[in-house]
Amino acid sequence: MKFCPTDLTRVYVASGEGTLTMQSFGGHTPTVLSRTQDCGHDHHNVCYWYCCVDVSVSRQMLVTGDNMGQLLLLGLDGQKIFSNKLHKAKVTHAEFNSRCDWLLATASVDHTVKLWDLRNIKDKKSYLHEMPHERAVNSAYFNPLDSSKLLTTDQYDEIRVYSSCDWSKPQHIIQHPHRQFQHLTPIKATWHPVYDLIVAGRYPDDRVFTGDQRTIDIYDSNTAELVCQLHDPTASGIKSINKFNPMGDVIGSGMGVTVLVWNRNESLISDRHAEQEDTSTSADSQRRQRRSQPRSNRDRRGPAMDAKLKRKLASLDECETKTKTKTKQKQAQMRKK
């Protein structure tokens, strides 16, 4: 699903029923913008379905991909602009670059992520860059801050960060357990809206590291270092979906039929690495607790890294308030002298 950027009461929905629709929270009848081809089978009529959707306001365009590798571009009114089989298998993700609106990223279970120039897109060979992966790929997100980085998540144990300075090779490859199986919602690493931070749910693999927990992990995309883990012993499921809110101080997590909301009153990074409890909303009307977990020696950071991350996670308002308070105290001391 994707909210309409110009009207937040509307949402674009790519459906497993083989339709792309615009739906309204105002109770209006859904508008069918596109429908996959009929497979012609007697016992069912859906062999093809849409797997993703994104919208570009500047281009007045929608993009979607289906389970057979077909990519479709259409106007906001549903008028078809382009359609071709650009991947060998399912298109799991398609996204416009918000800063460079002619740049499009697609990800597929064919083990590739590709970048396309919408001004010159013709066929499967007309891509700008191809980024081969070892496994099928779940997602490819441009960073919200300036769209100069691309974050990809495969279906096993790799999170990659690519940079616009050189799309041909990953800037970082993060080893992170999140293997895929049939009944698990695909795990997709996502961006912080302001800082170069990455959040992803962990699905531990005892074959790699025994005693691991089903945490929510936050990484610094510039260094590929693990900077924080969130864990609630009362929420033992796998948190497949994790997204920051627009302000970046709250994380929403999807865990089976439960929704968790992780909130904070202080920085996520603490000198004490101690338990910090905070009220947060959950789907069962009980707000969860969260704690920043101490990490093993392999994940500990030096004082310089701690200071850097604290500065990142502290809000501008808090910084300004502290500065003003210190200034007033110094002025008062000077007057006393």
Question: What does the pLDDT read at residue 282?
Answer: 46
pTM across the whole model? 0.79
27, part of any domain: yes
Confidence of residue 91 (pLDDT cuts 50, 70, 90): very high
Question: What does the pLDDT read at residue 196?
Answer: 96
124, part of any domain: yes
Are residues 30 and 72 in contact, defined by beta-carbon separation less than 8 angstroms?
no
Question: What does the pLDDT read at residue 37?
Answer: 85
315-318: Cβ within 8 A, 24+ apart: 315/249
Distances (CA, A) of 125 to 26, 67, 84, 116: 43, 19, 11, 10
Read off the DSSP letter of residue 191. Answer: E
Are residues 115 and 149 in contact, defined by beta-carbon separation less than 8 angstroms?
no
324, part of any domain: no
Distances (CA, A) of 226 to 85, 94, 271, 301, 308: 38, 27, 15, 9, 13
Question: What does the pLDDT read at residue 290?
Answer: 42
Are residues 86 and 124 in contact, defined by beta-carbon separation less than 8 angstroms?
yes
Q: Residue 334, exposed/middle/buried by CB under 10 A (0-12, 13-18, 19+)?
A: exposed
331, part of any domain: no
Structural domains in the chain (count):
1
28-35: Cβ within 8 A, 24+ apart: 31/78, 32/78, 33/62, 33/74, 33/77, 33/78, 34/64, 34/72, 34/74, 34/78, 34/80
Confidence of residue 208 (pLDDT cuts 50, 70, 90): confident
284, part of any domain: no
186, part of any domain: yes
275, part of any domain: no
Q: Taking 80 as the threshold, does the pLDDT of residue 335 lie above it?
A: no
Residue predicted with more confidence, 333 or 256: 256
Closest CA to 64 of 125, 122, 12: 12
pLDDT tens profile 133-173: 999 999 999 999 999 999 999 999 999 999 999 999 999 99
Backbone φ and ψ of 305, nearest 5°: -65, -40
CA 216 to chain CA centroid, Å, is: 13
Domain hosting residue 238, numbered range: 2-264
How many residues are given for the chain? 337
320, part of any domain: no
Instruction: Give the CATH number for residue 23.
Output: 2.130.10.10
Exposed e or buried b per residue across 107-123, where buried means at least 16 C-beta atoms within 10 angstroms of its C-beta = bbbbbbbbbbebeebee
Those residues with Cβ within 8 angstroms of residue 60's Cβ, 6 or more apart along the chain or in another chain: 75, 76
